[in-house]
Amino acid sequence: SSSKPTPIFLPLISTIVCSAPSFICLSLQVMLVGDSGVGKSCLLVRFKDGAFLAGSFISTVGIDFRNKVLNIDGVRVKLQIWDTAGQERFRSVTHAYYRDAHALLLLYDVTNKASFDNIQAWLTEIHEFSQQNVVIMLLGNKADSTHERIVKREEGEKLAKEFGVPFMETSAKSGLNVELAFTAVAKELKHREMKEPNEPKFQLQEYVNKEMKGVGCCRS
Protein backbone atom coordinates (compact mmCIF):
# COMPACT_ATOMS: atom_id res chain seq x y z
CA SER A 1 0.00 0.00 0.00
CA SER A 2 1.27 3.48 -0.81
CA SER A 3 2.31 5.47 2.21
CA LYS A 4 0.95 8.97 2.77
CA PRO A 5 3.33 11.80 1.86
CA THR A 6 5.10 13.29 4.84
CA PRO A 7 3.96 16.87 5.47
CA ILE A 8 6.68 19.47 5.09
CA PHE A 9 7.19 21.80 8.02
CA LEU A 10 9.31 24.88 8.48
CA PRO A 11 13.03 24.25 8.93
CA LEU A 12 14.14 24.37 12.53
CA ILE A 13 14.90 27.84 13.81
CA SER A 14 18.37 27.84 15.31
CA THR A 15 18.45 28.99 18.94
CA ILE A 16 21.99 29.83 19.98
CA VAL A 17 23.70 31.83 22.72
CA CYS A 18 25.20 34.92 21.14
CA SER A 19 28.48 36.49 22.19
CA ALA A 20 28.37 39.00 25.04
CA PRO A 21 26.02 40.37 26.02
CA SER A 22 24.71 36.82 25.97
CA PHE A 23 21.08 37.09 24.91
CA ILE A 24 19.26 34.18 23.40
CA CYS A 25 19.65 34.51 19.66
CA LEU A 26 17.44 33.17 16.90
CA SER A 27 18.85 32.63 13.44
CA LEU A 28 16.28 33.10 10.66
CA GLN A 29 16.36 32.90 6.87
CA VAL A 30 14.34 35.50 4.97
CA MET A 31 14.01 35.36 1.18
CA LEU A 32 13.21 38.24 -1.21
CA VAL A 33 11.27 37.12 -4.29
CA GLY A 34 9.50 38.77 -7.21
CA ASP A 35 10.04 39.81 -10.81
CA SER A 36 13.36 41.21 -11.96
CA GLY A 37 13.54 44.99 -11.47
CA VAL A 38 11.00 45.33 -8.64
CA GLY A 39 13.70 46.56 -6.25
CA LYS A 40 14.65 43.50 -4.20
CA SER A 41 18.38 44.29 -4.12
CA CYS A 42 17.75 47.97 -3.35
CA LEU A 43 15.38 47.00 -0.51
CA LEU A 44 18.06 44.74 0.96
CA VAL A 45 20.78 47.41 0.71
CA ARG A 46 18.45 49.99 2.30
CA PHE A 47 17.70 47.63 5.20
CA LYS A 48 21.26 46.44 5.73
CA ASP A 49 23.22 49.65 5.08
CA GLY A 50 20.61 52.41 5.25
CA ALA A 51 21.56 53.53 1.75
CA PHE A 52 19.88 53.76 -1.63
CA LEU A 53 21.70 52.81 -4.81
CA ALA A 54 20.61 55.87 -6.79
CA GLY A 55 20.54 55.62 -10.56
CA SER A 56 21.67 52.01 -10.62
CA PHE A 57 19.90 48.84 -11.64
CA ILE A 58 21.22 45.71 -10.00
CA SER A 59 20.38 42.44 -11.66
CA THR A 60 21.10 39.65 -9.22
CA VAL A 61 22.71 36.55 -10.68
CA GLY A 62 21.44 33.49 -8.82
CA ILE A 63 21.45 34.28 -5.09
CA ASP A 64 23.05 37.01 -2.98
CA PHE A 65 22.74 37.28 0.79
CA ARG A 66 23.48 39.58 3.71
CA ASN A 67 23.13 39.29 7.48
CA LYS A 68 21.67 41.73 9.98
CA VAL A 69 20.95 41.33 13.70
CA LEU A 70 17.78 42.87 15.17
CA ASN A 71 16.72 43.20 18.80
CA ILE A 72 13.16 41.89 18.94
CA ASP A 73 11.58 42.30 22.38
CA GLY A 74 14.94 41.70 24.09
CA VAL A 75 15.86 38.75 21.86
CA ARG A 76 18.71 39.03 19.38
CA VAL A 77 17.43 37.82 16.02
CA LYS A 78 19.96 37.21 13.28
CA LEU A 79 18.40 37.52 9.84
CA GLN A 80 20.14 35.94 6.89
CA ILE A 81 18.45 37.62 3.94
CA TRP A 82 18.62 36.00 0.52
CA ASP A 83 18.17 38.21 -2.52
CA THR A 84 17.03 36.10 -5.46
CA ALA A 85 17.18 36.60 -9.21
CA GLY A 86 13.77 37.27 -10.74
CA GLN A 87 14.67 36.14 -14.24
CA GLU A 88 13.23 32.86 -15.48
CA ARG A 89 16.66 31.39 -16.27
CA PHE A 90 17.66 31.52 -12.60
CA ARG A 91 14.38 30.14 -11.27
CA SER A 92 15.69 26.61 -10.72
CA VAL A 93 18.44 28.06 -8.49
CA THR A 94 15.82 29.98 -6.51
CA HIS A 95 13.66 26.87 -6.07
CA ALA A 96 16.48 25.14 -4.19
CA TYR A 97 16.43 27.85 -1.50
CA TYR A 98 12.69 27.98 -0.83
CA ARG A 99 12.75 24.96 1.46
CA ASP A 100 15.16 26.58 3.92
CA ALA A 101 13.35 29.91 4.16
CA HIS A 102 11.42 30.82 7.30
CA ALA A 103 9.90 33.93 5.70
CA LEU A 104 9.36 35.27 2.19
CA LEU A 105 8.97 38.91 1.24
CA LEU A 106 7.20 38.93 -2.13
CA LEU A 107 7.68 42.19 -4.03
CA TYR A 108 6.01 43.89 -6.95
CA ASP A 109 6.69 47.35 -8.39
CA VAL A 110 3.75 49.79 -8.09
CA THR A 111 4.87 51.38 -11.39
CA ASN A 112 4.90 48.06 -13.25
CA LYS A 113 1.53 46.34 -13.79
CA ALA A 114 3.13 43.15 -15.14
CA SER A 115 5.05 42.62 -11.89
CA PHE A 116 1.75 42.92 -9.99
CA ASP A 117 -0.07 40.59 -12.39
CA ASN A 118 2.67 37.99 -11.85
CA ILE A 119 2.15 37.84 -8.08
CA GLN A 120 -0.33 34.97 -8.37
CA ALA A 121 2.23 32.91 -10.32
CA TRP A 122 4.86 33.67 -7.66
CA LEU A 123 2.50 32.58 -4.89
CA THR A 124 1.77 29.34 -6.75
CA GLU A 125 5.50 28.69 -6.99
CA ILE A 126 6.03 29.57 -3.33
CA HIS A 127 3.35 27.12 -2.22
CA GLU A 128 4.87 24.42 -4.41
CA PHE A 129 8.47 24.73 -3.24
CA SER A 130 8.43 26.33 0.22
CA GLN A 131 7.65 24.85 3.63
CA GLN A 132 4.27 24.66 5.31
CA ASN A 133 3.51 27.71 7.45
CA VAL A 134 6.28 29.81 5.90
CA VAL A 135 5.63 33.48 6.67
CA ILE A 136 4.71 35.38 3.48
CA MET A 137 4.36 39.16 3.22
CA LEU A 138 3.36 41.03 0.06
CA LEU A 139 5.19 44.32 -0.54
CA GLY A 140 4.26 46.97 -3.12
CA ASN A 141 7.67 48.57 -3.66
CA LYS A 142 8.66 51.95 -5.20
CA ALA A 143 5.77 53.63 -3.38
CA ASP A 144 7.67 56.94 -3.60
CA SER A 145 7.04 57.02 -7.38
CA THR A 146 3.78 58.95 -7.10
CA HIS A 147 3.57 60.16 -10.70
CA GLU A 148 4.58 56.82 -12.25
CA ARG A 149 2.28 54.73 -10.04
CA ILE A 150 0.02 52.32 -11.95
CA VAL A 151 -1.03 49.85 -9.22
CA LYS A 152 -3.19 51.46 -6.53
CA ARG A 153 -2.59 50.65 -2.89
CA GLU A 154 -6.16 49.31 -2.68
CA GLU A 155 -5.38 46.78 -5.41
CA GLY A 156 -2.45 45.45 -3.40
CA GLU A 157 -4.58 45.25 -0.27
CA LYS A 158 -7.32 43.39 -2.14
CA LEU A 159 -4.89 40.87 -3.64
CA ALA A 160 -3.23 40.25 -0.27
CA LYS A 161 -6.63 39.68 1.33
CA GLU A 162 -7.56 37.19 -1.42
CA PHE A 163 -4.46 35.12 -0.67
CA GLY A 164 -4.53 35.63 3.09
CA VAL A 165 -1.14 37.31 3.38
CA PRO A 166 -0.18 40.56 5.15
CA PHE A 167 0.56 43.59 2.97
CA MET A 168 2.26 46.96 3.01
CA GLU A 169 3.85 49.36 0.57
CA THR A 170 7.56 50.12 0.76
CA SER A 171 10.16 52.37 -0.83
CA ALA A 172 13.83 51.44 -0.93
CA LYS A 173 14.50 55.01 -2.10
CA SER A 174 12.84 56.86 0.80
CA GLY A 175 13.10 54.03 3.33
CA LEU A 176 9.32 53.88 3.77
CA ASN A 177 8.38 50.79 5.83
CA VAL A 178 11.60 48.93 4.93
CA GLU A 179 12.69 48.35 8.53
CA LEU A 180 9.10 47.56 9.48
CA ALA A 181 8.76 44.80 6.85
CA PHE A 182 11.75 42.86 8.19
CA THR A 183 10.92 43.59 11.85
CA ALA A 184 7.34 42.37 11.39
CA VAL A 185 8.29 38.96 9.98
CA ALA A 186 11.05 38.62 12.61
CA LYS A 187 8.49 39.31 15.35
CA GLU A 188 6.11 36.72 13.88
CA LEU A 189 8.81 34.04 13.79
CA LYS A 190 10.19 34.93 17.22
CA HIS A 191 6.66 34.74 18.62
CA ARG A 192 6.08 31.30 17.08
CA GLU A 193 9.35 30.00 18.50
CA MET A 194 9.08 31.46 22.03
CA LYS A 195 5.32 31.78 22.61
CA GLU A 196 4.07 31.11 26.12
CA PRO A 197 1.26 28.50 26.36
CA ASN A 198 -1.53 31.02 27.09
CA GLU A 199 -0.11 33.87 25.06
CA PRO A 200 -2.38 35.07 22.21
CA LYS A 201 -1.26 34.57 18.63
CA PHE A 202 0.77 37.41 17.13
CA GLN A 203 -1.34 39.30 14.57
CA LEU A 204 1.14 40.36 11.91
CA GLN A 205 -1.15 42.60 9.83
CA GLU A 206 -2.56 44.28 12.95
CA TYR A 207 0.98 45.01 14.14
CA VAL A 208 1.92 46.46 10.74
CA ASN A 209 -1.21 48.65 10.60
CA LYS A 210 -0.63 49.92 14.13
CA GLU A 211 3.03 50.75 13.46
CA MET A 212 2.22 52.55 10.20
CA LYS A 213 -0.59 54.54 11.84
CA GLY A 214 1.74 55.54 14.67
CA VAL A 215 4.26 57.20 12.37
CA GLY A 216 2.03 58.55 9.62
CA CYS A 217 3.10 57.88 6.05
CA CYS A 218 6.84 58.21 6.32
CA ARG A 219 8.30 55.36 8.29
CA SER A 220 11.89 54.38 7.51
Is 4 inside a domain boundary? Answer: no
DSSP H helices, 62-164, are 91-98, 113-117, 119-129, 153-163
Is 37 inside a domain boundary? Answer: yes
| Res 6: pLDDT | 46
- pLDDT higher at 153 or 21: 153
CATH number at residue 109: 3.40.50.300
Is 141 inside a domain boundary? Answer: yes
- pLDDT higher at 14 or 201: 201
Is 3 inside a domain boundary? Answer: no
Give the number of domains in the chain: 1
Residue 150 has pLDDT above 50, yes or no: yes
Is 2 inside a domain boundary? Answer: no
Q: For 72, which DSSP code?
A: E
Is 67 inside a domain boundary? Answer: yes
Per-residue pLDDT band at 93 (split at 50, 70, 90): confident
Across residues 82-96, what is the average pLDDT?
Answer: 73
Q: Which domain holds residue 167?
A: 14-214
Is 124 inside a domain boundary? Answer: yes
Per-residue pLDDT band at 7 (split at 50, 70, 90): very low
Across residues 125-138, what is the average pLDDT?
Answer: 95
Find out whether the peptide bond into 21 is cis, omega within 30 degrees of 0: yes
Residue 32 has pLDDT above 60, yes or no: yes
Is 1 inside a domain boundary? Answer: no
Cα separation, 115 vs 145, whole angstroms: 15
Q: For 19, which DSSP code?
A: S
The pTM (predicted TM-score) of the whole model is: 0.85
Cα separation, 58 vs 83, whole angstroms: 11
